[in-house]
Amino acid sequence: MNCERGRKMSANMEANNVNNTKKNTAGSKINAYQICLVALAVGINIAGGQIALLLKLPVYLDSIGTILTGALLGPWFGMLPNLISGIFMGMTVDIYSLYFAPVGMITGIMSGLVFRKLSVKRVKVLAAAAMITVPGTVVSSVINAVLFGGVTSSGSSILVQLLSHTPLGLTGSIFVVQFLTDYLDRCIAVFVVSVFVTMLSGEMKQRLTGSVNNRA
């Protein structure tokens, strides 16, 4: 009797392990909706970056897709759009985008972490933008100062050159201008993403997060 019970318990444990493995594997699969979202985010980043570049705006508009992906899919997916768009733009129209791609990846990670803690509907735009901005600003300021001396394709370079003749100096001017322009850019992006995500249906959110099975 004891042997039979032991065998049944072992069989049940093996069956449970198999089922749990299947569930974990199914949950970890990347679905078509997630791939489409990343592709859409890359397109949004490229379009926004081009608009800012052509108009010489003091903001970049190339992180909306990144923050959208981070908000819906989490920090690791959030890294992808800026990595892809940075490489594409760096090899085609704006070499500076390639150097600043790590900044966008950090923005994606921070977006995923911030929106994981805060509900999109209740997100405070100014506070969320600040939390997303600061780590990337530190990295972008270092890249800007060390590699480019404050001169890039962004319209903010004009502000850097003007402030560099003040007591702030070049390095201080780069950090101040970088933070202000980054923060304004992230405020715009977080606001747009919050509006967009709020408009999404519950079923679409579930499909994007892999909570429901996709049907062809």
pLDDT tens digits for range 26-57: 445 789 999 999 999 999 999 998 999 899 88
pLDDT of residue 8: 52
For residues 197 and 135, give the distance between their C-alpha atoms in angstroms, rounded to a whole number: 24
Of the pLDDT bands very low, low, confident and very high (cuts 50, 70, 90), residue 121 is low
C-alpha 109, offset from chain centre: 6
Q: Is the dihedral of CA 123, 126, 131, 135 positive or negative?
A: positive
Domain ranges in the chain are 30-209
Correct CATH for 30-209 of 1.20.59.10, 3.40.50.300, 1.10.1760.20, 2.40.240.10? 1.10.1760.20
Mean pLDDT of the chain: 83
Strands (E), 43-167: none
Report the percentage of the chain scoring pLDDT > 70.
83
- The DSSP 8-state label assigned to residue 210 in this structure reads T
Q: How many CA atoms lie within 13 A of 50 on its CB side?
A: 11
For residues 61 and 82, give the distance between their C-alpha atoms in angstroms, rounded to a whole number: 12
Lowest mean pLDDT among 77-81, 125-129, 154-158: 154-158
pLDDT of residue 23: 45
